[in-house]
Chains A and B, each alone.
Chain A
Amino acid sequence: MRIFLLQQLFLWVCMVVVVVLIAFLPRDLVFVSEEYETYGIATMNMQLYGERLSEYVAMIGAGSLGENRYGTSVLVDLHLYASRSLQLIGIASIIAIFIGTAKAYFDTRYKGIFARSSRKIGQGMQALPDFFIIIVVQMVVLWLFRQGFPQFSLYGNEDLSSFLFAAVLLSLFPSMYFANIVASTLESEEGSFYLIAAKGRGVKKSVLLIKHQLANALPSIIQQIPIMFMYLLSNLLMVEFLTSFRGAMYRTYQAMGFQETSLESLPNQFYIEEPVIVVYLTFFISLGFLVNIGSRVMTEIVTRRRLS
């Protein structure tokens, strides 16, 4: 366990260093037009790179993490956006775990046509890109509005309804993923001797599923949570982007300077906020780190309790 912690800590430090090294590469992009062709030229100036890095390190040494483009401290910035995103992640995770477990229970408890097709739909949903699901849900809701359904706000992050809408969108993909994991681990327990023995003694199937199968499958389910969490973070960017939710992921993308890019135009000027990029990416890496460790500790606890 101690080795695991040290190893994870080492990886965390590695990732943060890589992020800093990449973020502070000289970012002057010059465009040169010659006759009919335009080139973008980025020159690698080692001296400038070194200066930028040492400046940043000196700033951290002085106890500041830097400022965003409006001159406010990055931490204030992070606090504002990250708290929104964390709430979103929290609600979505709770929904995902709750719905995922309920769906998995339904799928394994019953063998009828409904349970089987629900299982198939769950698997199929996993193959569909998250943005497709988000777009379809939006189209359906907008169609309902046109049919006279009471309207509520879908976009932005000010209203409770748009907040909940984003949370529900975010939870769709992880709940299907979670349901599939739980269902397949529950099924892998089937056929074990203790189940046959319990069945023989006339234990109810629901009791069997929850008290025995789920309890036994818990360690392998918890081990899968970090992977689910990474999917959730990638989804988060998509959801924040498509619902105009001003959250931490969207802020990171904005800081990378390509925010208004489209097929027709580059931004006139790249507003790249290196300190913001570093702090936000570190924030996400740390979240992954914490979830990894949390899942490991939980697995340990659950396994130990089962053995004792």
Chain B
Amino acid sequence: MKNLPASLTISVSALVMLVAFLFVGPLIYSSPEDQDGVMIMNDGSIRTAPFPPGEDFLLGSDAAGNDLFGQLMSAGQGTLLLVLMIVAIRFVLAVPLAYFGRKQKGIFHQGIHLLNQLFSFMPLLIGMIFFMTIPFVISSEYRMFLVFIGIVLFELGRTAVTVQESFHQVRQKSFMEAPAMIGSSRWTVWRKYYWRHIRGPLIVLFCLDISKMMMLLGQLGFFAMFISMTFAVNDLGEPIAINAFETWPTLLSNARTHIPNEMWVIFWPSLAIAVTSLIFFSIGNALKTMQQTTS
């Protein structure tokens, strides 16, 4: 492992720092006390939440007077987990589909291309919102599962087509004649010929997809499309939606009430999303350049 490019070292260490910060941080840092959204100052004046960044709250507070810094740290783990899970499921589905379609003909080839073209008409964001507002999806016990399926399916075609392309490229290399000549089993061909060449580009694609998925989840957060939610009744007896799984995007759900005077409330969560997205993007990019220079 010599001659690692500097960009890779920097981005991977940034990722390690981020993960350490999100997993160790909440253990050390204790949020300032929740003051029910009202603070009485020493000179007797009263201030109401959201409080700007300052001495009391490092990054300010949200509209309910909760410390943003603490919330960002505690929500980070869930966010990373969620994104990793969605992208991983998509790849688990896309790679076999792409493998079976590697000859660029047959039913799998047709299927993934149809999927890809079908969804290439629909703008991703509004399409996802349309899906998530279906009444059965809203009220289902398995909402989280359904939303997962929706997000996975929406971009499955694109991922599968990209992976299929790399399978096809490997297939056309002259070294692929060797296993055919000596009569290797399919399993050996997959393990020793395809997988070895495909895993590099797959990791790159995985990192870039994580970056894109962070963006999509963030966008959905603005529109109060929660991945998982439960219902409750407020004091007036009206049904209200409660977000059941704290992630960075859910901190953005009241964005419009904070524009333009309380921008920090939405700035910090979106900065967290942007930084994570950028880290994965640069890891992917650095790996890509590394692979290009070695091959």
Closest CB of chain A to B139's CB: distance in Å? 4
Give the residues in chain A near B263, CB-CB below 8 Å. Answer: 135, 138-139, 142
**B256 interface residue per 8 A CB criterion:** yes
Interface status of B218 (Cβ within 8 A of chain A): yes
Task: Return the contact of B277 from the options A129, A258, A263, A268 (Cβ within 8 A).
Answer: A129
**Closest A residue, CB atoms, query B237:** A33
Q: How many residues of B contact A (CB 8 A)?
A: 61
> Chain B residue with minimal CB distance to A257?
B133
Q: How far is the CA of A14 from the CA of B252 in the complex (A)?
A: 34
B281 touches A132 (CB 8 A): no
Query: With A12-B121, A129-B274, A256-B130 in contact, is A42–B136 under 8 Å at CB?
Result: yes
Contact A42 B138 (CB under 8 A): yes
Chain B binding surface, main DSSP class: helix
Known contacts A38-B231, A39-B139, A11 near B121 by CB under 8 Å: yes
Give every chain A residue within 8 A of B266 (Cβ-Cβ): 135
* Chain B, residue nearest A263 (CB): B253
Asked if B270 is an interface residue, CB under 8 A from chain A, the answer is: yes
Closest CB-CB distance, A162 to chain B, in whole Å?
12
CA gap between A42 and B134 in the complex, in Å:
10
Which of A22, A130, A284 sits near B134, CB closer than 8 Å?
A22
Report the minimum CB–CB distance from B48 to chain A (whole Å).
16
Which of B135, B223, B238, B243 is the one whose CB lies under 8 Å from A268?
B238
Is B142 an interface position by the 8 A CB rule?
no
A200 in the interface, Cβ–Cβ < 8 Å?
A: no
Q: Which residues of B contact A284 (CB under 8 A)?
A: 122-123, 126
Are A129 and B214 touching (Cβ within 8 A)?
A: yes
Is B6 part of the contact surface with A, judged by Cβ < 8 Å?
no
Interface contact A25-B139, CB-CB below 8 Å = no
Question: A258-B133, A268-B238 given as contacts; is B222 within 8 A of A127 (CB)?
Answer: no
A127-B211, A138-B263, A253-B129 given as contacts; is B121 within 8 A of A242 (CB)? no
Residue of A nearest to B117 (CB): A11
B234→A38 contact, CB < 8 A: no
Interface assignment of A31: CB less than 8 Å from any CB of chain B: yes
B239 located at the interface, meaning its Cβ lies under 8 Å from any Cβ of chain A in the complex? yes
Question: Please, how many angstroms separate the alpha-carbon atoms of A126 and B215 in the complex?
Answer: 11
**Bound-complex Cα distance A25 to B238 (A):** 24
Residue in contact with B130 in the complex, picked from A22, A37, A131, A241, CB distance below 8 Å? A22
A263 touches B233 (CB 8 A): no
Task: Say which residue of B124, B231, B232 sits within 8 Å of A234 (CB atoms).
Answer: B124
Shortest distance from the beta carbon of B249 to any chain A beta carbon, whole Å: 10
> Quick one: which of B252-278 are within 8 Å of A by CB?
252-257, 259-260, 263, 266-267, 270-271, 273-274, 277-278
Indicate whether A41 reaches chain B with its CB closer than 8 angstroms. yes
> Digit string of A162-197 for contact with B (CB within 8 Å is 1, else 0)?
000000000000000000000000000000000000
With A129-B273, A237-B126, A242-B255 given, can you name 13 additional A-B contacts, CB distance below 8 Å? A11-B117, A26-B135, A28-B135, A29-B135, A29-B138, A38-B239, A135-B270, A233-B123, A234-B219, A241-B223, A253-B129, A258-B225, A266-B231
Residues of B bordering A, CB below 8 Å: 114, 117-118, 120-126, 129-131, 133-136, 138-139, 211, 214-215, 218-219, 222-225, 230-234, 238-243, 250, 252-257, 259-260, 263, 266-267, 270-271, 273-274, 277-278, 280-282, 285
